[in-house]
Amino acid sequence: MQRFAVLQLTGCAGCEVSLLNAEEWVDQHELVYMPLVTSAYSIPEVDLLLVTGSVQTDEDLYKLRRAVRRAKKVVAVGTCAISGGVLNLGDRDEIRELFFAEESRYHLPKLLPRCRPIDTVVSVDQYLPGCPPTPELFMALLFDPPDFKIAQTVCEECDRKKHKKMRPAHLIGFQHGTVLPDICLINQGYLCIGVSTRGGCRALCTRAGQPCVGCRGASNAFIEKGSKKWFATIQRIFSKMTDIPAHEIEAALRSPQLSLFLSQFSDYASKEPQPRLKAKVL
């Protein structure tokens, strides 16, 4: 029986909820530490340490460094642990000023100068991307079934069909318009980037009519080439399938919502981007 722990750094707990929805592991794995789920106060020796959230406070830094010493294998779970995720937005000066404006916040853990992915602090053995990763992906991580294979792209898992003659002239925007069933969202004017996003989520969003924002990160074809190549490929696909001006696509790709995910496999804060190895990514 594998002993595992879940260390939650600064984050939203969405990854934890997804793990708890994958309840089949309960009989075959021993969860020894997870705040609000187990009664343990500290992390004992474990086979597997799942880390969610990003390193944003001095307390995160302390807890992470301490926990990895007791783990045989460390997994960065979800966009925040992999790239900082949505917490990167908190690095903006106006957000920091707002935060520190309240005297009641003076005694909270000290914010670091910027939010950091966990592999800038400790070595990571595996990455489990997703925002959050689906329960099925957690199961694949815990059980490592030999026949489990990730689809190359979200498109491969999406039932929507692409149409050559349906060429929108502009983007519609995420929450606008009426989504037609069965037809590719790009043909309908939505910025769907499932074409080059790694599969494995079973196209959860696009099947329900929501464009893919790339929360699983770049597919293996781009993962080690950095986000610029991924970005350029998305542009190329849109110019092939639509009449939407390139500047419109570029502006949308640079929106906070999408740029969080487009950059998640390369350390965009450093001068020399450091792509993660695809062999380590589930």
Amino acid (1-letter code) at residue 14:
G
Q: Given the complex with ligand SF4, which of 112 and 179 has the nearer CB atom?
A: 179
Q: In angstroms, rounded to a whole number, what is the distance separating the alpha carbons of residues 2 and 180?
A: 45
Q: In angstroms, rounded to a whole number, what is the distance separating the alpha carbons of residues 73 and 90?
A: 29
Q: Does 48 bind ligand SF4 (CB under 6 A)?
A: no
CB under 6 A: which stretch of 12-20, 210-218, 223-231, 245-253 binds ligand SF4?
210-218
Q: How far is the CB of 265 from ligand SF4 (least distance, A)?
A: 13
State CA 122 to chain mean position distance: 19
Q: Out of 206, 219, 242, 264, point to the residue binding ligand SF4 (CB under 6 A).
A: 206
Contact track, ligand SF4, 212-251, x by CB under 6 A = xxxxx-----------------------------------
Q: Does 191 bind ligand SF4 (CB under 6 A)?
A: no
Q: Out of 55, 77, 205, 249, point to the residue binding ligand SF4 (CB under 6 A).
A: 205
Q: How far is the CB of 156 from ligand SF4 (least distance, A)?
A: 8
Q: Out of 195, 223, 249, 282, point to the residue binding ligand SF4 (CB under 6 A).
A: 195
Q: Does 160 bind ligand SF4 (CB under 6 A)?
A: yes
Q: Out of 184, 234, 258, 262, point to the residue binding ligand SF4 (CB under 6 A).
A: 184
Residue nearest to ligand SF4 (CB): 194
Q: Does 155 bind ligand SF4 (CB under 6 A)?
A: yes
Q: Given the complex with ligand SF4, which of 43 and 150 has the nearer CB atom?
A: 150
Please give the size of the binding site for ligand SF4, defined by CB under 6 A: 21
Q: How far is the CB of 220 from ligand SF4 (least distance, A)?
A: 14
Query: Where do contacts with ligand SF4 occur on this chain (CB under 6 A)?
Result: 154-155, 158, 160, 184-186, 192, 194-195, 197, 201, 203-206, 212-216
